Amino acid sequence: MKYFFKISFMALAIGLLAIGCSKKGDDEVTPNPKNPSNPSNPTNPSNPTNPPVASPLKFTPENPSVEMEKTTTVSIVGTWNTTDKVKIDNEEVAALQGAVQDNKLTLLGKKVGTTKVHILSADNKERGSFELTVSPKLLLSFTPEKAVVKEGETTTITFSGVWNATDRVQIVNGEIAQLQGNVTDNKITLLAKKAGTTKVEIFTQDNRSRGSFEVSVYILASTLKLPHKNPLPHYRTDITDREEYKRLIEERLVAYEKLMVKLENLEKYPLDIYRYNDQNNLYLEGIRISRAAKQYYKENKDTASIKDLKNTYENLHQYGVCYAEVEIMVRIAEQYRKKYPTHTEIENLIKENFNGEYGNIDGPNLTDYLNRNMVTTYNKIIDIVNTLQ
């Protein structure tokens, strides 16, 4: 009996000891070599050899496109890590502009074509990709912009840009001019059929305008006269509807872009004579204001108040379209001054009026001033040139 109790007591002690050891084992966790300070978390953000988990990304739009020499923004759907990087397969087609911010990357179209754009994690694992298409510039640039040709003869207009096989030539008045053959080597050949002036416009397959030029047909060279400049229109003040403001803004943006294309083909005046430098400063200020207005509209057109839309429209009209129209007149006037250097009246008109003194005027007063001083002066120069030619 004594031995029985002794054996039972020893068995009980061993059992309790085993339970105690088991309890201690349950509380212990095997050390994590990747993150000793937090064994339950296999990742260690402070350890660069163990980057964050890279979940797949999506993109909006999924298949973006952009015109050559323009930029487009692609939104990233998902979490962008600061260690992620952008890889562009063909960097001749597109280039990243700046850093990725607010889950958005901006790409510049450099060359017509397509390229894959990848987002890679720090350890070069792909998180997602999309294909970017770079299309030709929509607007074409024509030389000359106003062709003059004798009745019965042909004239050839050259243009810069990429011609698509689906593009078409539309002549407003087919009695004045007629297309000869197909468009080849960026050249359009027209036959002069009847005296007069007609507009020739290029359209895409989906009826978007790619630009236009004029053809003037004459019978006798002596009867040909340079046209006057029409007065600059005032901006509208009767608008109370947001959608109408948006339509007018987009109309002004198209008009402004066409004027800027026209300016690319006009020789710049020298800045060190007369007050051309003052005129140039106003022209550059107009570009700055117009770009800001364009960017604001692009980002806020669906949420902007009617007051802000009104301000955007008026800025684009005054400092975009009107300032660009003045710059065109000044550049053309300078060409005639150089062509007829002994005719001092042209020089005097330029010195007295093309002096950049309209910078502190805005609203309807600006339009009135430009018509009274700039347009009137320009037309006087045209009258002089018509008597000299």
Residue 368 belongs to some domain of the structure: yes
Cβ atoms < 10 Å from Cβ of 152: 11
Residue 203 belongs to some domain of the structure: yes
> Of 164, 195, 223, which one is at a domain's C-terminal end?
223
Residues 309 and 383 in one domain: yes
Predicted pLDDT at 69:
86
- Tokens 């002096």 locate to 355
Cβ atoms < 10 Å from Cβ of 329: 21
> Of 114, 135, 156, which one is at a domain's C-terminal end?
135
Please, are residues 359 and 286 in contact by the beta-carbon 8 Å criterion? no
Residues 70 and 178 in one domain: no
Residues 275 and 212 in one domain: no
Predicted pLDDT at 284:
97
Residues 270 and 168 in one domain: no
Residues 247 and 383 in one domain: yes
Query: Whole-model pTM?
Result: 0.47
Residue 219 belongs to some domain of the structure: yes
String of DSSP letters for 169-217: EEES-TTTEEE-S--BTTEEEEEE-SSEEEEEEEE-TT--EEEEEEEEE
Predicted pLDDT at 16:
43
Residue 53 belongs to some domain of the structure: no
The closest of 346, 353, 351, 342 to 376, measured between CA atoms, is 353
Predicted pLDDT at 359:
93
Q: What are phi and psi of 214, to 5 degrees?
A: -115, 150
Return the CATH number at 146: 2.60.40.1080
Residue 35 belongs to some domain of the structure: no
Residue 51 belongs to some domain of the structure: no
Residues 286 and 174 in one domain: no
Residues 202 and 310 in one domain: no
Residues 200 and 145 in one domain: yes
Please, are residues 313 and 250 in contact by the beta-carbon 8 Å criterion? no
Residues 127 and 170 in one domain: no
Classify 268 as helix, strand or coil: coil
Residue 122 belongs to some domain of the structure: yes
Residues 166 and 210 in one domain: yes
Q: How far is CA 361 from CA 365, 366, 368, 380, in A?
A: 7, 5, 10, 23
Domain count, the chain: 3
Per-residue pLDDT of the chain (389 residues; tens, 9 = 90+): 444 444 444 444 445 444 454 444 444 444 544 444 444 444 444 455 555 667 899 999 999 999 888 999 999 999 999 999 999 999 999 999 999 999 999 999 999 899 999 999 999 999 999 999 998 888 899 999 999 998 999 999 999 888 999 999 999 999 999 999 999 999 999 999 999 999 999 999 999 999 999 999 988 645 567 899 999 999 999 999 999 999 999 999 999 999 999 999 999 999 999 999 999 999 999 999 999 999 999 999 999 999 999 999 999 999 999 999 999 999 999 999 999 998 899 999 999 999 999 999 999 999 999 999 999 999 999 999 998 87
> Of 82, 102, 135, which one is at a domain's C-terminal end?
135
Q: Range of 295's domain?
A: 242-388
String of DSSP letters for 314-329: HHIIIIIIIHHHHHHH
Residues 191 and 308 in one domain: no
Element (H, E) at 331: helix 323-339
Return the CATH number at 286: 1.20.140.130
Residue 31 belongs to some domain of the structure: no
Residues 293 and 156 in one domain: no
